[in-house]
Amino acid sequence: MSIKIKSYFLIFALIALAGGFFSIAKGQIGLLSQPISDNAIDFSVDWSAQTYVPPEYDGKAIPTYGSKITLSATSLSLINENDYEYNWMIDLASAPNNNGKPLADFIVTKTAGNKHIIYLTISDKKTRDILKEIYFSIPITSPKNFVYAKLPGGHLYPLNIENKASINTQLDLTAKPFFFNKTDRDQTLIFQWTLNNQKAQWSESNDLSIAFPEEASAGYQYILNLTIKNPSDLFQFTENNYKIVMK
């Protein structure tokens, strides 16, 4: 997708970009990708959420309201798992499909900033004795979006709230959505870019090119807006605004 201020083919330039979500996510959210282990009985407990993350993201996919979460308990020893019964509870209520198996799933009913508390008991089927109790929590977030400038060599730099660009240049951007209730690639979401109220049509493209004309005056400001929607859930959307100042 391309928005041109005037019909010029211009050379890309961008400055004043710093920071990035990937480093934050890898250092914080990425820690959640480690399974919860209990060496006393050689079990590992983990969870996964069906929310979208870009392929290059190596952290945990965090759930949002309406996400499906799958819970799993895995034996790390040679025991026969059929000898044990697994009782999953979500916020002190029995999991919807709790059938005594090491797998369970549920739909998130809490909003961003809250947590679902998971309680698992593992019992001996013959004696009914509870062998182990495990507690853990799953944080709930909201869909997020980050916009990056595409530089030569495939490098990406995040846009700040306020940025500077040179006159007679072209700015190539790409959007990276996170944690929408999607399991496939980001093109299944719909994007709308707006530059100074000049709207592009809704599309499946997460890329945008902006050409700044030669006669643009230094200090002139452009306001860039990006809205992303989940077409299968109209309550899931993000909206970001950025300022680009000519220098």
From residue 43, alpha-carbon distances to 78, 121, 218 in Å are: 11, 12, 63
All structural domains of the chain: 2-19+143-246 (2.60.40.10), 23-139 (2.60.40.10)
Give, for all 247 residues of the chain, the pLDDT tens digit: 655 444 332 333 333 333 443 333 333 333 333 445 444 557 789 999 999 898 889 899 999 999 999 999 988 775 677 788 999 999 999 998 788 999 999 999 999 999 999 999 999 888 988 888 999 999 999 999 999 999 888 889 898 888 888 888 888 999 999 999 975 554 478 899 998 888 777 777 889 888 888 777 889 999 999 999 998 888 899 999 999 999 8
Tokens read off for 132: 């182990």
Residue 203: per-residue pLDDT: 78
* pLDDT value for 3: 54
Residue by residue, DSSP assigns 124-188 as ETTT--EEEEEEEEEE-B--EEEEEEE-GGG-EEE--SEEEE-SSEEEEEEEEEES-S-SS-GGG
- Write down the residue that tokens 């797998």 correspond to: 103
Amino acid at 107: I
Paired tokens of 178:
């996170």
Structure tokens at 104: 């369970």
pLDDT of residue 98: 80
User: Which pLDDT belongs to residue 66?
Assistant: 93
- Whole-model pTM? 0.75
* Torsion angles phi and psi, residue 31, rounded to 5: -65, -25
Q: What are φ and ψ of residue 195, in 5° steps?
A: -120, 115
pLDDT attached to residue 184: 53
